Amino acid sequence: MIRSGDVPDAVLEATSSRRLVDKAAEDLAAARRVGGRLVVPGDAEWPAWALLPLANAAGRGLRWACPPLGLWVRGKALLSELLERAVSVVGARAATGYGEHVATDLAYELARNGMTVVSGAAYGIDGCAHRGALNAEGRTLAVLACGIDQSYPAGHTQLLDRITGRGLVVSEYPPGTQPARHRFLVRNRLIAALSAGTVVVEAGVRSGARNTASSAAALGSVLMAVPGPVTSAMSAGCHELLRDGLATTVCTAAHVIEAVGQFGDDLAPKPTTESRPTDSLEGDALRVHEALEPRIEQSAERIAELSGVALTRVRAVLPALELLGLADRPETGWRRTKANHNPTKAPPTPQTQQTNNQQPAPT
């Protein structure tokens, strides 16, 4: 494609010095040796939909957003299937214990809910994100800034091998390409593009994760950030994104799934809270109950004074609270009690008891 000139002008200009270099056969052979393959537009697993924002951004004049001409892939999974439900989780290499814990937990829960976790296989947050997904026996995808035959960083050789077992290792650079600083910045746009949303767990004000976040925002992707301690420099980039209104605050996987929205309705776990016996109280009944003490017996007159409820009303409400198990009268006065949760048959509330005690009008 490059030799024939069938590429965008920006790509043509950037590759002019090496346009006549032909190592296609060698590159394909090198990929096969590590169980890899080249995926190009027109292939069944080419992620055309995921890469569309890059093409649109390039059309608006953003040169860095140029879509890849092809993707080198290592692993048995299909690229397009992995990206149907995907979220990127990125962050600092020099992560804190807090950041590592959050990244691992987020990725674990996202993977457990059927989502692919995309990251860059670097030390710190990236590695924790991949491990969290793998620990959940879920799917994860690593985007490299080098060839798929390179184990970088060297300390993640085993992790990259594990990723190919349940997911994919992906790069737009041919086999044999060594990592370089500028390639990480170019790689970051793919991490942002290959998912419906990007979560920044920890990031300095100037960092690769912050660069990925900027790419996600420019591509119109859902950008999310995890707040951290205000004293931590590793969370300064996250706080800046939140303060500037560029990112949505997320603390759990449920928050992430809800924020992504595109497929959140069928995946987001419904928040559950334990019901309390006092949930049914309102108005005078609630005020009377709050005026009760658990260890001090009080007269109805004292309760009326503390609650601001009329004495006649207090005397009507207290027996109803007793039926609910929320109050009792041991000897000289009333006190608060702790009722059992979820009773098999709920006694009448003060409001319903008052209604039930009314005599029917004579006919």
pLDDT value at position 22?
67
Inform me whether the pLDDT recorded for 286 exceeds 50: yes
Structure pTM? 0.68
CATH of span 277-352: 1.10.10
Inform me whether the pLDDT recorded for 353 exceeds 60: no
Q: Does residue 79 contact residue 73 with C-beta atoms inside 8 Å?
A: yes
Q: What fold is seen in the domain 9-260?
A: Rossmann fold (3.40.50)
Fold match between 9-260 and 277-352?
no
Name the more confident of 346 and 259: 259
- What are the pLDDT digits (tens) for 314-329? 888 888 888 888 888 8
**Side-chain-side CA neighbours of residue 105 (13 Å):** 14
| DSSP assignment string, 145-183 | SS-TT--SSGGGHHHHHHHHHHSEEEESSPTTPPP-HHH
In sequence order, which residues have a C-beta less than 8 Å from that of residue 50 and are 6 or more positions away? 83, 86, 193, 194, 195
Inform me whether the pLDDT recorded for 267 exceeds 60: no
pLDDT value at position 363?
39
Upstream peptide bond of 153 is cis (omega within 30 degrees of 0): yes
Strand ranges for the chain from DSSP E: 36-39, 71-74, 86-90, 116-119, 140-143, 168-171, 197-200, 222-225, 248-249, 327-328, 335-336
Q: What tokens were used for 339?
A: 């009722």
Q: What is the mean pLDDT of residues 114-142?
A: 96
Q: How confident is the model at residue 4 (pLDDT cuts 50, 70, 90)?
A: low
Q: What is the mean pLDDT of residues 256-278?
A: 64
CB-based contacts of 285-289 (< 8 A; 24+ apart in sequence): 285/317, 285/320, 285/321, 285/349, 285/350, 285/351, 288/314, 288/317, 288/318, 288/321, 289/321, 289/326, 289/327, 289/336
Label residues 128-157 b or e (16+ Cβ within 10 Å = b).
bbbbbbbebebbbbbbbbbbbbbbbbeebe
Between the alpha carbon of residue 94 and those of residues 172, 241, 315, the distances in Å are 26, 19, 64
The domain locations on the chain are: 9-260, 277-352
